[in-house]
Chain A
Amino acid sequence: MIKDLVQSAIDEESKPYWDGLKNEKLFIQYCDDCQQYIFYPRTICPHCFSEKIRWQESCGNGKIYSYTVVHQAFGPFKSEAPFVVGIIELDEGVRMMSRILGDKDQIAIDQEVSVVFQEVENDLVLPYFQVKEL
């Protein structure tokens, strides 16, 4: 179960992020003091240590910073291989890990992607990214 991997870690700090995904919204954070975006969710700004942090919905667009085709996977992912995991740089500037969907020939570093909300298990929605049509 993929959910087992994260469930024990979900707490008051991360719950708004996970709840947002269930409503097909990708929430990142913004620091009102230093005016920089933050991911993953925190209660203190890693740039300036301010606590004036608010949740903000991401535009969901970005580009591929790097990716790999996973041929040998483990645990609940074993049967899914090969699949593509990448680091996405959102237009807001923050990076996050995700799956990349789309024609494998079109997956490349700097390729533009946009978020899609994937229910991978009952009650677990993840932000995946889809390569934009060229």
Chain B
Amino acid sequence: MKSDRIAAIVGVAESDLGKTPGKNVLQLQAQAAKLALEDAGLTKNDIDAVFTAGNWAWAPNLMLAEYLGIQPKYTDSTNIGGSSFEAHVGHAVAGIKAGLFEVALITYGSTNKTNPSNSMFKSPLTAQYELPYGLPTPVGAYALAAMRHMHQFGTTSEQLAEIAVATRKWAALNEKAYMREPIAIEDVLNSRKIADPLHLLDCCLVTDGGGAVIVASSNVASKLNKKPVWILGHGESHSHNTIANMPDLTVTSAVESGKRAFEMAGISHDEIDVAEIYDSFTITVLLTLEALGFCKPGEGGAFVSGQRTAPGGDFPMNTNGGGLSYCHPGMYGIFLLIEAVRQLRGECSSRQVENAKLALVHGTGGVLSSTSTVILGGD
């Protein structure tokens, strides 16, 4: 392992999840931020950098920091969709390495389930060439990718369903998961079609929810009670905005973000103990596994077959139940980080992956548009 131990994640927390009527996006983020600070053993006054993303404000950082009573000396509202928070982690490491700040708060909150109007954003500028055809966003775009993958490689709906079934098994072990009833491959295939070849159970949930992650310099991290979770590598990239402009519908920019994250961490794929991979749809996971290099292009279907990613399988993935079964408030990426940290700290009780020392966290945003990969290591 060659990565310098510049910064670590020292605190994580979710807000209330699922349906949170009566709570707005700021309340959820404040709740998560307070809990994450408690988890870290830090106070609000220790925060000197603020990172957030969302479509809930003209300038989300300004609104959030004012609400929390924080005057940061560094601020970043990079918004590349659901992978924003993995990018924020990378940016926080860079800022800490540059000596610009010591403790960063990263938050997200959304009320997509009970009050979607405060999570929506409309800007048709370059979308004018796509909007009038009625493709439902984002599911339709992912369906186009799935169809192409099936055409090119013979991937089947059963193979996609394997991912949903395995993820639900993890959700059954997580009391915070929204959907915990077991499902079988037939249930996925028999669920209503949304956009061919994707069924309802190939799609993530729509929930409310917020999350917070505290990143601190090695100096701060080494003084805290809990063991730091080191940020060993990170990489980000984006390849397009509108789906018709994706260079290859079966290859995401995880090829680039993953490569850089692995190089920075100085580890190999077989050293990863647990993977938290953005699962907005089953096809998202399949394409990501290939792009990250866990298997060859076209072999994702075979890779996830036989419940390999389920509890007890040899590739533990999305151990909190994922966006498919645990929660998905629109931009899911922060929850991947929270789960990876808990796994590396050994805090996951019945769903704990034994001896988890290295975790890969991978966010995807937009319509397979942006990717950001983070590799974390326990102390």
Interface set of A (CB-CB < 8 Å, partner B): 2-3, 5-6, 8-10, 14, 39-40, 65-77, 80, 83, 85-87, 95-99, 108-110, 120, 124, 126
Partner of A68, one of B128, B132, B147, B245: B147
Smallest Cβ distance from B25 to chain A, in angstroms?
Answer: 22
Indicate if B140 sits at the interface (CB-CB under 8 A): yes
Q: Which residues of A contact B131 (CB under 8 A)?
A: 5-6
Report the separation of the CA atoms of residues A8 and B144 in the bound assembly, to the nearest whole angstrom: 27
Beta-carbon contact of B135 and A68 below 8 Å = yes
Within 8 A of A (CB), among B209-248: 242-245
Which B residue's beta carbon lies closest to that of A87?
B244
Beta-carbon contact of B132 and A66 below 8 Å = no
Partner of A73, one of B134, B147, B192: B134
Asked whether A109 and B125 contact (CB < 8 A) given A68-B195, A72-B136, A120-B132, the answer is no
Report the separation of the CA atoms of residues A39 and B126 in the bound assembly, to the nearest whole angstrom: 11
Beta-carbon contact of B194 and A71 below 8 Å = yes
Q: Which residues of B contact A80 (CB under 8 A)?
A: 134
Smallest Cβ distance from A12 to chain B, in angstroms?
Answer: 13
Q: Which residues of B contact A2 (CB under 8 A)?
A: 132, 134
Asked whether A85 and B132 contact (CB < 8 A) given A9-B127, A65-B249, A96-B244, the answer is no
Smallest Cβ distance from B200 to chain A, in angstroms?
Answer: 9
Asked whether A66 and B249 contact (CB < 8 A) given A8-B124, A71-B192, the answer is yes
Report the separation of the CA atoms of residues A109 and B244 in the bound assembly, to the nearest whole angstrom: 15
Asked whether A68 and B243 contact (CB < 8 A) given A99-B133, A126-B133, the answer is no
Asked whether A68 and B124 contact (CB < 8 A) given A85-B135, A97-B129, the answer is no
Please classify how large the interface on chain B is, using the bins under 10, 10 to 19, 20 to 34, 35 or more: 20 to 34
Indicate if B130 sits at the interface (CB-CB under 8 A): yes
Beta-carbon contact of A66 and B151 below 8 Å = yes
Smallest Cβ distance from A132 to chain B, in angstroms?
Answer: 18
Beta-carbon contact of B126 and A85 below 8 Å = no
Report the separation of the CA atoms of residues A51 and B122 in the bound assembly, to the nearest whole angstrom: 29
Partner of A126, one of B127, B132, B144: B132
Smallest Cβ distance from B197 to chain A, in angstroms?
Answer: 8
Give 22 CB contacts A-B under 8 Å.
Answer: A2-B134, A5-B124, A5-B131, A9-B124, A68-B135, A68-B140, A68-B144, A69-B196, A70-B134, A70-B195, A71-B192, A72-B192, A72-B193, A73-B134, A87-B144, A95-B245, A96-B244, A97-B130, A99-B134, A109-B147, A110-B151, A126-B132
Beta-carbon contact of B136 and A6 below 8 Å = no
Indicate if B143 sits at the interface (CB-CB under 8 A): yes
Partner of A85, one of B134, B151, B194, B245: B134
Report the separation of the CA atoms of residues A9 and B130 in the bound assembly, to the nearest whole angstrom: 12
Asked whether A74 and B195 contact (CB < 8 A) given A6-B131, A109-B147, the answer is no
